[in-house]
Amino acid sequence: MNSTVTVNEVLYPVYLLMLGCFISPVLGEVASLYVSSSISIGASILMIYISIIAMTSGGLGVGEFQLLTGISSAFSEVFRVSSYGFEVSVDGLSAFFIFALGIVSLASSIYGISYIKRYVGLESLRFYSVLYPLFLMSMYLLIICSDVILFIISWELMSITAFFLIAFEKANKVAVKAALKYLLMSYFGSSLLIIALVIISSISGSTNFTALRTVVFEPTVHYLIMALIIVGFGIKAALVPMHSWLPDAHPEAPSNISALLSGFMIKTAVYGVIRFTFILLGLNHYALGLMLSSLGIASAIYGTLMAIIQIDSKKLMAYSSIAQIGYIFLGIGGGLILYPNYLGFIALAAGLFHTLNHAIFKGLLFLTAGGLIYRTGSRDLNSLGGLAKVMPITYTSGLIGSLAISGMPPLNGFVSKWLILIPLLISGHPMLVLYAALAIFASALTTAAFVKYLARAFFSSPKNVSVGNVKEVPLPMALAMILLASLCVVLGLFFYIPFNMASSAVANMITYSVSYTTITLQDLTPVLYVFTLLTLGIFISAFIAVYLTASHKLRLTPVWTFGTKDLLPKTLGLNAHSYYREFGSTYSFVYVLRSYVYELVVRPLCKWSTKLARSYYDFVDIYLPTTLAAIVIKPLWRWFIGLGRSYYDWVETYLPTVLAVITALLLILIIASYLGCVVWFLST
């Protein structure tokens, strides 16, 4: 381990961000924004640096996270257990995720500098300045921690900060509602997680990740844990049956926050699944793979099908986030099913690669949508239009982002999708092949969705918004977009670099047999040829374009509408409603199915549970205890363990009951919150 970064320096971003959220309250509104933003920028750069170092040196060792040690020791006094600190470590996987986090947070922090200013006077910028670094910190901590409790704490911290950020526009009822829906569902998820983790650590007798590697479960527990973990993380990842919070929550948050949410927060679930299920616990990869890939393809198809019928730019993107997460899980699930076949390795690595890519272009797209909101104040695709000429940078980055997410070569989206598809297709596993075929369809749907976004936002005639006084977004926002856009191109053209990163990350967590290899990077050199050819083609066409405009006599004409001028109505062409109506009516059964489910399952549940939990406070005071519980429970736990150690036979009888008690306790909370959260289905 010849790393230039000692493991404790890994914590510098954390300290930095903490500093940020401590000092910003004492500053003025705008000053606090500047400070916290710049601090987060610094932190993000640090993260990127750390991740690169870590990846080059194959991970950093284990260290102690001192800050919470005090608390834990206090508890240890109370419960008479030996003092304890939380361990952090950075291995290839964490490094990869840190890289993604670093990039997205960098962009969104830069973007936030001027974007959040539109809330001056409306909302408290201090609040934002405190929450934003906290949010980053929680996510970062989540990635680096190697301890169950720290994991839970940062997980809860992330959820709650995210909640406040989503509900940032307090005046906006819709936003608050969406935020609550998110809060409840993610709370429900996390309580499942807590149960799972409690069981795990009770069995392993330690909360340290390294300790978890050794545990073995009897089948029932094994599958219970699997189910709990998948649902728990699935809610955060918004996999399809558990997705309903995302399309409401992401659009309502400030755009750079939406970028972070879609760009990274939902990816933490990906991280969690990988980390726990088969790195630590080595669960039955086949069953797990089947579940994940099935959920994945379901989300991919559902998300895109919903995306193409949206008329709200950010909702459209939110749905496509569901779809892309689906893609990622399809890759990962495939990777698990095909284990130990080398194809699985590719699929898994590609899944990770797609995580990074999606973080980049979805972040980018949300930022462009934010740009539109910033200038026109609208995200309604019916009223937008014709902004290409007045907002060239936003438009160009939107174009690149859309092409990238549609998986158009030579941009980054293509390679990861392609590398997910191939192994599944040629694996010969019928289900995976079918899934891959559907995935091709899903990517076509994505294309359609984002062409709609481009067309209605940038190209065709402006509808209700007057583009006359619209200007390009201010510099910081533009910079952020340019950063991500150029990354889309670079990571596309030099796709082997991130793919190597991903594959090394996979390589040092599970070992695939390299017996049956069809794709190696050497085989991909022809792809490079094609990409070079494409880039060349684009350059040549650029030259041609320049040449034509220079050489030919060029005439500007009004758009040809068959010779009518004065008679024309304000709204020409299609509005967002009109897009893909024919497709919808041809393949209507999909949408019909959805509405059936909604009518038969969701509505009754809502009716039945609306009387529970009317207001927001009810939930918070259901909520807070568990966050505390998460912190309190650990020493409690060790206490049980200690007892257990000393009175072994007694433990034999005692542990299960304790488990039962805690599980029951949590279950009650879960049910209560679940009923509550169902209320907010109403707002789908």
Partner 1 sequence: MDVVGRILKILEGKVSNYKVINSGNVIIDVRAEDLVDVVRIITEELGGIYSVIVGNDARRVDGTFHNIYVFSLDSLKTYLLVRVRLSPEEPSVQSITSVVKGANWGEREVRDLLGINVLNHPDPRRLVLPDGWPDNVNPLRKEFNYQTRPQLNCSTQYTPIRSEDVVALPYGPYHPLLHEPEYFELHIKGETVVGVEYRGFHVHRGIEKLGESRLTYNQIPFVAERICGICGFVHNVCYCQAIEGASGIEVPERALYIRSLILEIERLHSHLLWLGVACHILGFDTGFMHAWRIREPIMNLAEALTGNRKNYGLNLVGGVRRDVSKDSVGKVIKILKNVRDEYSRFIKGLTALKEVVKRLEGSGILPKAEAVSYGVVGPVARASGLKRDVRVDHPYAAYKDVSFKVPTYSGCDNMSRLMVRVEEVYESMSIIEQLLDRLPGGPILAENAEVPEYREGFSSVEAPRGEDVHYVLTGKYSKVYRWKVRAPTYNNIPALNVMLHECPLSDAPLTIASIDPCFSCTDRLIVVDVRSGKRFKVGLKALAKGWRP
Partner 2 sequence: MVPQYLVALLTAFLLALLVPLLDGVERKYVRARIQSRVGPPIIQTYYDLVKLFKKELLIPSTASKLFILAPPTSFFVSIAALFILPYSLSPSLGFEGDIILLAYLLVLSSLTSLLGGLASGNPFAEVSSNRELSLILASELFLGMGLAVIALKYGSLRLHTVSTNLILLPSVLLAYLTLLYYAFIKSVRTPYDIAEAEPEIASGYMIEYSGPLLAFLILGNLTRRLLVSSLFTVITFGPVISMATSPVNVEVLRYTLNAVLTISLSIIVYLSLGVVSVIHGRYRVIHALMSIKKYTLIPITALILAVIGF
Considering only residues 560 to 599 of the shown chain, the ones binding partner 2 according to CB under 8 A are 560-562, 572-574, 578-580, 582-583, 585-587
Compare residues 559 and 567 and give the one whose CB is closer to partner 2: 559
577 binds partner 1 (CB under 8 A): yes
Query: Does residue 430 belong to the site contacting partner 1 (CB under 8 A)?
Result: no
DSSP 322: H
Is residue 581 at the binding interface for partner 1, with CB under 8 A as the rule? yes
Q: Which of residues 390-429 bind partner 2 (CB under 8 A)?
A: 392, 395, 399, 406-409, 414, 418, 421-422, 425-426, 428
Site for partner 2 in 445-474 (CB under 8 A): 445, 447-448, 451, 454-455, 458-461
Per-residue b/e over 124-145, b at no fewer than 16 CB within 10 Å? Answer: ebbbbbbbbbbbbbbbbbbbbb
Size of the site for partner 2 (CB under 8 A): 81
The DSSP string of 473-511 is PPHHHHHHHHHHHHHHHHHHHTTHHHHHHHHHHHHTT-P
Q: Which residue lies nearer to partner 2 by CB, 262 or 394?
A: 394
- Binding piece for partner 1, criterion CB under 8 A, among 28-36, 209-217, 235-243, 570-578: 570-578
Interaction of residue 548 with partner 2, rule CB under 8 A: yes
> Closest approach of Cβ 664 to partner 1, in Å?
54
Pick one of partner 1, partner 2, none as the site partner of residue 593 (Cβ within 5 to 8 A by kind): none
Q: Considering only residues 217 through 276, tell me which ones interact with partner 2, judged by CB under 8 A.
A: none
Rounded to whole angstroms, the Cα distance separating 78 from 119 reads: 46
Question: Of 9, 189, 29, 232, which is closest to residue 116 (Cα–Cα)?
Answer: 29
Of residues 168 and 395, the one with the C-beta less far from partner 2 = 395
Helix (H) or strand (E) holding 86: strand 86-90
Say how far apart CA 218 and CA 208 lie, in whole Å.
21
94/85 Cα distance (integer angstroms)? 20
Q: Taking CB within 5 to 8 Å according to partner kind, which of partner 1, partner 2, none is near residue 566?
A: partner 1
CA 364 vs CA 167, 216, 387, 548: distances in Å: 22, 43, 17, 32
Instruction: Give the one residue of 62, 528, 572, 672 binding partner 1; rule: CB under 8 A.
Output: 572
Our finding on whether 578 is near partner 1 (CB under 8 A) is yes
**Angle, CA of 198, 285 and 499, to the nearest 5°:** 105
CB atoms closer than 10 angstroms to residue 454: 18
Write out the binding residues for partner 1, residues 527-566 only, by CB under 8 A. 561-564, 566
Which tokens belong to 313?
């730019």
With helix as H, strand as E and coil as C, how does 249-313 read?
A: HHHHCCHHHHHHHHHHHHHHHHHHHHHHHHHHCCCCHHHHHHHHHHHHHHHHHHHHHHHCCCCEH
- Kindly state the tokens that stand for 608: 């039945």
The answer to whether 387 and 372 are in contact (CB under 8 A) is yes
**Contacting range for partner 2; rule: CB under 8 A; set: 28-36, 125-133, 366-374, 520-528:** 520-528
**Count of residues binding partner 1 (CB under 8 A)?**
17
Site for partner 2 in 367-386 (CB under 8 A): 386
- Owner of token pair 């998948």: 230
Closest to partner 2 by CB, 422 or 682 = 422
Output the six-digit token pair for 543.
Answer: 């030259």
State how far the Cα of 244 lies from the Cα of 257, in Å rounded to an integer: 19
| 571 interacts with partner 1 by CB under 8 A | yes
206 near partner 2, rule: CB under 8 A: no
Q: Which residue in 116, 388, 484, 487 binds partner 2 (CB under 8 A)?
A: 388
Q: Quick one: which of 122, 514, 530, 590 contacts partner 2 (CB under 8 A)?
A: 530
- List residues binding partner 1 (CB under 8 A): 561-564, 566-569, 571-575, 577-578, 581-582
